Structure 1
Amino acid sequence: MDWGRTRYDAAWRMQDELVTQRIENRITDTLVLTEHDPVFTIGMRGGAEGNLLWDEARLRAEGVEVIRTNRGGDITYHGPGQIVGYPVVSLAPRKDLHAYLRLLEQVLINTLGNLGLAAARRPGKTGIWLGPRKVAAIGVAVRRWVAYHGFALNVNVNLGHFGGIVPCGIAASDGTVTSMQSEFGRYVDPDEVKRVLHDEFWQLWPRWHDQAG
């Protein structure tokens, strides 16, 4: 599903309905792609609020909402030009959340590789990196072994908005945040990125799923 541009809270409600439908087997495994209006989302990790740097006046001036969410992880930014993927999938045949996170990482690594960027995991850090520069974030939640939330890939996103947070707890000495546009020095076609993300996810997911047991 491609939801286009959405407000985060509206997308969360729609996603929650998909989770219920997947638990009840009224839908099959589903991948949602969207872009959000500017928002800082605070995850379940303790102390995440401390990584919000802007006060209410600055948030209003920049047009950025703040929403607490039930996904894993710290604090992150979503906004136009960032492609967010919400796989709503059953992990019941293979109840291994860590392996599922590795799957999402591989989807992003393969996508970026196909588009000309050599991305990788970074030991001790979450997300996907280009050297010391983080280009994608990952944070998931699970209900009755149906996974939801997912990943956020910086394509043509406003990197200035990341200045309002310590993104996912990354100290300045640990690295920075980047985007595909910043790396290439040009605008990147989001439809092409979505196509490759879609193809990579649906190539890897059946193989991962079939490794149950």
Structure 2
Amino acid sequence: MTVLDFQRIGLDDDPPRLIDYQWAWDEQRRIHADVAAGRRDGTVLLLEHQSVYTAGRRTLAHERPFDGTPVIDVDRGGKITWHGPGQLVGYPIIRLPAGVYVVDYVRRLEEALIRLVRGYGLLARRVAGRSGVWLPAEARRPERKLVAIGIRYAHGATLHGFALNVL
């Protein structure tokens, strides 16, 4: 059985403390080096960020905001993602078992998050050809992304993770 160390950062403070993205990214990379080298068990960081955009490798120049919110270029795939108050962010830093490919891992993560939010009465699902977890379209509203997922796999372990829009 694989042991996971869940670290709730700032969530148990009163009021909950918003975490600087750069600090969290540095912490991810530090933990990732240890997990990849086999010096520590897999770790899941759970936190809520100060308002920030992260720009994945496919982000185009015109997609960057100009409202003064910080934008940090990161080493994951995908495009631009907002993080901030009202969003639970999880960074699972784990070694993937033999035979589990990154796309399999993303689908398993999606399924776990779908089951989680269904427990709260939300009819979340996948959308073909798109990553993440989605709420279905309604009479006057299109499909809405409830959970963004962006993963990097390097040196045998994962980085980055998911952002669940709570509010």
Q: Is the TM value for this pair above 0.5?
A: yes
How many percent of aligned residue pairs carry the same amino acid? Answer: 39
In structure 2, the residue matched to 1:90 is 95
CA contact (8 A) 1:92 1:146 kept: no
Indicate how the Cα distance of structure 1 residues 94 and 29 shifts in structure 2: closer, same or farther if over 3 A, else same.
Answer: farther
In structure 2, the residue matched to 1:3 is 9
Count, aligned residues: 148
The structure 2 residue matched to 1:103, chosen from 108, 123, 127, is 108
What is the SS of the residue equivalent to 2:133?
strand
Q: Which runs of 5+ in 2 are unaligned?
A: 1-6, 11-17, 137-142
Structure 1's consecutive aligned runs of 4 or more residues displaced over 4 angstroms after TM superposition are none
Q: In structure 2, what is the Cα distance between the partners aligned to 1:105 and 1:40?
A: 22
Q: In structure 1, what is the Cα distance between the partners aligned to 2:158 and 2:61?
A: 24
| Match status 1:152 vs 2:163 | yes
In structure 1, the residue matched to 2:49 is 36
What is the SS of the residue equivalent to 1:93?
coil
TM-score normalised over the length of structure 2: 0.84
Q: In structure 2, what is the Cα distance between the partners aligned to 1:145 and 1:2?
A: 24
CA contact (8 A) 1:49 1:75 kept: no
Shift of 1:92: 4.8
- The structure whose residues are more often strand, as a share, is 2
What is the SS of the residue equivalent to 2:94?
strand
Q: In structure 1, what is the Cα distance between the partners aligned to 2:43 and 2:99?
A: 17
| Match status 1:79 vs 2:102 | no
Give RMSD over aligned pairs. 1.2
The structure 2 residue matched to 1:117, chosen from 122, 127, 135, is 122
Letter in 1 for 2:155: R
The structure 2 residue matched to 1:51, chosen from 53, 63, 71, is 63
Q: In structure 2, what is the Cα distance between the partners aligned to 1:108 and 1:92?
A: 20
CA contact (8 A) 1:119 1:130 kept: yes
Deviations 1:67-125 (A, max 9, x none): 00011110010001100010000015234111000011011101101111010000122
- The structure whose residues are more often helix, as a share, is 1
CA contact (8 A) 1:84 1:151 kept: yes
The structure 1 residue matched to 2:29, chosen from 8, 13, 16, is 16
TM-score normalised over the length of structure 1: 0.67
Deviations 1:118-152 (A, max 9, x none): 10000122211111111110000011120110100
